[in-house]
Chain A
Amino acid sequence: MKLLRDTSLIFQRQIQLLLRNPVWIFVGVFQPVMYLLLFAPLLKPALQVGSNAEAYEIFVPGLLVLLAIFGGLFQGFGLIAELRAGVIERSRVTPVSRLALLLGRSLRDVVSLIAQAVIITLLALIFDLRVFIGNLLLAYLMLALISLMTSALSYGVALVVKSEDALAPLMNTVAQPVLLLSGILLPLTYAPGWLQGIADWNPFSWAVDGTRALFRGDLGAPAVWQGLIIMAVLAAAAVGWAAREFARSVR
C-alpha cells in the first residue's frame, strides 16, 4: 500500500539521520537520568511513602509522560530547519502521500521516545522499581500515543508559523500549564480542590493517572482505559490536522 510504503521511506530516512547524530541520543538520555538520580531521592520523604520503590512507581511514569510531551512538542524545530533547507518543498512536488510526510517523522519521534523510556525504565529497575511486563507495554503504548499527538501538533504548528521565533514561545506557553496541571512531577492528591477541578480538564492528567496505575500494577483502574482512549482520539485528531497542513500550500 502506497501510504505504508511512503511512510516507511520517510521514516527510514529520518531514523538514519537521527542515528548519524549520536550527540542527540546522549542529550536525550542524560537529562532524564539526572532527574532520576538527583530529583528522585527527594521524593521518598516528600511523598511520604515507605520505600524508594514506591516513590519510583509514582515518579518514573510522571517523568516518562513529561518526556513524551516535551520531546514531541519541540520536534517542530527540526521541521522548520527542513522547510528552510527546501527539503519539504522538494517532497511536496513528488506524488508522495502527504500523510506519510507527517507519519514518517512522527513515528521516528515515537520510536526515539520509546528508546529513551526503555533506558530509563531499566535504570529505575536498579533502584528497585518493579513493574509487570504486560503493564509496562501498555504504559509504553500510552507514551507512544502521547508523543504521536504532541509531535504531530508541533509539526502542524511549525507548518503554520514557519519560524522558530514564533514556535518557541508558543510551545512553551502550551507546555507550561499542561505540565503544572497534570500532576506529572508530583501527584495532585494533595492539591486543593479547585486545582484538581481544573486538572480534570487537562487530558494529560488522565494520561498520567493511567500510566501511574499501570506502574502500580493496577491494570483494572478506569484511568488506564480512559487515558488510552483520550490519548488515541487526540492523537488521531492531531495527525489528521497536521497532515492537512502538509498538504496545504506552504511557503
Chain B
Amino acid sequence: MIETRGLRKSFMSRQGREKKTVEAVRGVDLDVAEGEIFGFLGPNGAGKTTTLRMLATLIEPDGGTATIAGADLRRDPGEVRRRIGYVAQGGSTWDDSTAREELVLQSRLYGASKASAQARAARVLEGFQLSEYADRKCKTYSGGQRRRVDIALGIIHEPKVVFLDEPTTGLDPQSRAHMWDEIRRLRAEGMTVFITTHYLDEADALCDRISIMDNGEIVASGTPASLKREISGDVVRVALAVDTIAAAAEALENYKIETYDDSVRLFVEDGATAIPQILRALDAAGVPLGAIELHRPSLDDVFLTKTGRSLRES
C-alpha cells in the first residue's frame, strides 16, 4: 500500500550567522501492507514527521521514490492527496469553529456535495463519539476530544491510507486506550493506518508492524514480536542504591550491561542460570541489592541494541 525507496530530505537551518544542513531523513525504505497498522517508532528529532510530511505531499523529497495507494508521489501528488488522509502532530482545528463545521468543510474540500458532506460528518461524529459536542466551538474541547476531531477530519473522505502523526501524545492513559480502539476500528473498516509514536507500549500493543527510526534512518523493521525475538536471551534488571551503581558495574563488567540512576540492566543468554552468578558477583563486591527481576526483551532493548542508546533517555 505504501512503498518507498531511498526517501531523503535535508533542511538548511540558520543558527545565528552559521548555516547548517540538517539531514532529517537519510534514505528511508518502507513497505506497508494493505490493512495493517504500521508504526514508526523513534525518539524526538528522528525524522518521523518529516517522512510523513513527504508522504502526505506537504514537502518535496530531495531524493528517492514513493508509491502510495498506487499513486506515484513525485509524478502525481494530486492523486496521492485524493487517496490519503493526514493528521498533523500539532492538530488542525480552528478555535472558533465547531467540529461539525470543520468536518463538513473538510468533506466538501474533497468534493462531496453539501448534503453528503453533512451526512458523512454526522456519521463520523457518531463513530468517534463526538455527537454530544459537535456543535460546540473547538476551543471548548478537552485534549482527547480535540484529538478525536483531528482524526475524524483525516478520515472523513474514507481514504485508503491515513497517516496519524503521534495520535496519542499528551493524552491521559484512559484517552489513549480510547484512541487505540478508534485506530483499530479504522483498520477494521479496511484502512491502512500509518502512525508515529515514541511510546514503546503503543508500538508494541497497537501496531502490526513497526520500523524503528533513529537519526533519519530506519534501524530495524518487523513485527514487534519478531524484533524482540531477534535479541536472544533475557534481560535482568537489578535495583540498587544510587551510590553503589559504580561498584556494581565494575563487579559485573563481564556482562553486557546498561546502568541507570537506580538500577542496572544485564543482557544474558539464560536468566535462570545467570541470576545466581550475578547475585554472587555482587555479594563478593559487597554491593547490597534491592529487587531483582527477569524479563523478556522489550522494544526498548531492541532500540538499545541497535543504537546503543535507550529510547527512554533520548
Contacts and interface: CB of A to CB of B under 8 A. Distances in A.
B93 interface: yes
Contacts of A90: 88, 92, 106, 153
A200 to B, nearest CB: 39
A86 B88 contact: yes
Contacts of A87: 92-94
Interface stretch (B57-65, B227-235, B276-284): B57-65
A172 interface: no
B92 A86 contact: yes
Contacts of B94: 17, 82, 85, 87
Given A82-B94, A249-B58, A249-B60, A89 B88 contact: yes
A147 B135 CA distance: 33
Contacts of A89: 58, 88, 92
Contacts of B91: 85-86
A85 B111 CA distance: 23
Contact of A96 (B59, B85, B109): B109
Given A9-B109, A90-B153, A251 B59 contact: yes
Nearest to B79: A95
Contact of B90 (A21, A86, A250): A86
Nearest to B86: A93
B92 A6 contact: no
Interface in B103-130: 105-106, 108-111
A244 interface: no
Interface string B188-202: 000000000000000
By DSSP majority rule, is chain B's interface helix, strand, loop, or mixed?
A: loop
B178 interface: no
Which of A82, A249, A250 has its CB near the most chain B CB atoms (within 10 A)? A249
A85 B93 CA distance: 6
Interface residues of A, number: 22
Interface residues of B, number: 29
Contacts of B96: 17, 20-21
A93 B90 contact: no
A94 interface: yes
Nearest to B156: A94
A93 B110 contact: no
A44 interface: no
Given A85-B91, A85-B93, A86-B88, A249 B59 contact: yes
Interface in A70-111: 82, 85-87, 89-96
B82 A85 contact: no
B307 interface: no
Contacts of B25: none
A95 B82 contact: yes
A93 B59 CA distance: 11
A52 B57 CA distance: 59
Given A9-B109, A17-B97, A89-B58, A94 B92 contact: no
Contacts of A82: 94
B184 interface: no
A93 B60 contact: no
B139 to A, nearest CB: 10
A141 B291 CA distance: 81
A13 B109 CA distance: 12
Contacts of A85: 91-95
Interface of A: 6, 9, 13, 16-17, 20-21, 82, 85-87, 89-96, 249-251
Given A13-B101, A82-B94, 14 more contacts: A16-B101, A85-B94, A86-B92, A86-B93, A89-B58, A89-B88, A91-B109, A92-B57, A93-B56, A94-B106, A95-B82, A95-B111, A249-B58, A251-B58
5 closest pairs, A vs B, by CB?
A: A86-B92, A90-B92, A94-B109, A249-B59, A93-B86
